[in-house]
Structure 1
Amino acid sequence: MAPPSPRGMPCGPRLAAVLLLAAAAALGFGVRAGAAQLCAEYYDRTCPGVHRVVRRVLKKAHEADARIYASLTRLHFHDCFVQGCDASILLDNSSSIVSEKFATPNNNSARGYPVVDAVKAALEEACPGVVSCADILAIAAKISVELSGGPRWRVPLGRRDGTTANITAANSNLPSPFDNLTALQQKFGAVGLDATADLVALSGAHTFGRVQCRFVAPRLYNFSGTRRPDPALDQGYRALLSRRCPRGGDGSALNDLDPATPDAFDGSYYANLGARRGTLQSDQELLSTPGAPTAAIVGRFAGSQKAFFRSFAKSMIRMGNIEVLTGSQGEVRKNCRVVNGS
């Protein structure tokens, strides 16, 4: 049995095997040893109301911001791809920290930090010094997907918070909306995720939320430096996007990732790809790249939302296990923006 944590109940081997090792083996890759110490029951004794508290804060935040569920899901993703799921993305600049918030993929793009602060404050009131910021991100993503109509899963918990940030990795490791399929596969494989199955499933999170025009405009007016539109983009959809993101317009203007159901977590993302209506280049690459190994999975998810939901939940669990800190590693931050004692 894994050693008891000072902040949560010990995680037994049975749950770890069922939720983590077996799931990983099903797709042919392993997980870091520390990930096996995570378990869904981690806070059952020390903070039994953790999910209820997070849900309450998120629902209140959603009343003022319809985008927040998608933003919080993305925040978990952007954290895990940079030195693992350690809440490094939440750290502000300090004398010893260069914040990942100002990396190109995050600056004026990643959002939801005040909501994470509100969740942390509520949890510190309910159970001081117990719930890590890294676990808050994982729980917030899970609940955000559920409240948007998506799948449910039991998120393994017990992550500890890191004490460093890595802006260099944030600039290079995060998948880009301009990446081709080869680059996307390389970045997913580099963090131990399946470069086909996990890539297609997790890309499905683009079924809700908004994107700034600066990430769309190159496809419309100067794809790959050709001064022409992306030939993989449906002409009718290109006309719609061009009206919303005119040439030389406001690059920060927002556009729905899914034009039909922008705030619902559903399977329409894959149907959109089939109609050549993927909003981002990185989306359409999954289907339109000649000989793409991802195309068959896109087709399967387009035909079965249930299959997508099932795979998405499994891939979120796997992503949440990337290079986690457990046991005596790291810390449980009192404030998600700063390292304890700084």
Structure 2
Amino acid sequence: MRTLRRTWRLRPARIALAVLAVIALLAVAGGALAPHDPLGQHPGDMLRGPSGAHPLGTDYLGRDVLSRLLAGTGSSIAGALEAVGVAMLLGIVPGIASVWLGRTVEWTAQRAADTLMIMPFTIFAIAVVGALGNGLHQAMIALGVLFAPLYFRVTRAAALGLAQAQYVEAAELMGASRWWILRTHVWGKILPTVAVTTAQAVGQALLVVASLTFLGLGVQPPAPTWGGMLASDLGYLAQQPWAPLVPGAAIMITVGALNVLADAVRDSGAAAGDLRETGAAPPPVPVAPPNGPAADSTGPRAGSDDARVPDRDSHARTGAATGTASSQEVEQRVTTG
């Protein structure tokens, strides 16, 4: 919670959250806010430019672009969230289990993560959709499986550092169960790292979802999606060269806000970790002695041991001068005698 409060104090984080709140509202109520039917075709209004009736123009079938953009927000965002949810389930639990359940579980989980990391996203998703059928859920499950190694490695790295913490070892010596330790001491420390990874993963998943729908995978036309709108606009660039900018800008703004939020959460957690590690405290304020003004910072304090001890360099200089004078007196006596 403290990391979230520090994140909220950052202005970029507040701006990113405001943008994401608008995107979430459009994802939930975009179809209701659409001024026209997103599937309604009007051949007489094909490829029209922006106007009062159609603020963003119409596409090659006369459908309102703004209505399709609002209605497609829900499908695009829901697909990205579904993929990230599957990735969290398949990555966080094995990541923590590989640290606490012994060498066998650790070796098996690491080999599975290494295998999934070498698979390309698009080809694996096409193979899964071809085997299970062309649908949004099938494509998002495949995407979530490929995102799982990201959560596995991040969670495992954080859990490895906490497994050797002194308070965790003390809890084990006192007889605390593993579930209690994970719930009380480990999960709260891992949560900020998971939050940063989630913000970045949703942005990446949104790009992959747009790529899949661009290829016609996941959501079937004529259902509107951001990637599907990009694919349909590419065939009519001569008539409307600005048309791909509309769904492209929606994708860019959403992914940019997620990345800004992830950076803000990471910076807040790093700042808190630096304060805890260094034990930073405010500099001490000089206090005046009870019987006099504050001592000069460049010299010894009055009444201190340093004030009573003579300077060694002054002793050396005085001794050298005295020795030189004594030798000159002896030479004069010898000469006169």
State which structure, 1 or 2, has the greater radius of gyration over its C-alpha atoms: 2
TM-score, structure 2 as length reference = 0.24
TM-score, structure 1 as length reference = 0.23
Answer 1 or 2: which has greater helix percent.
2
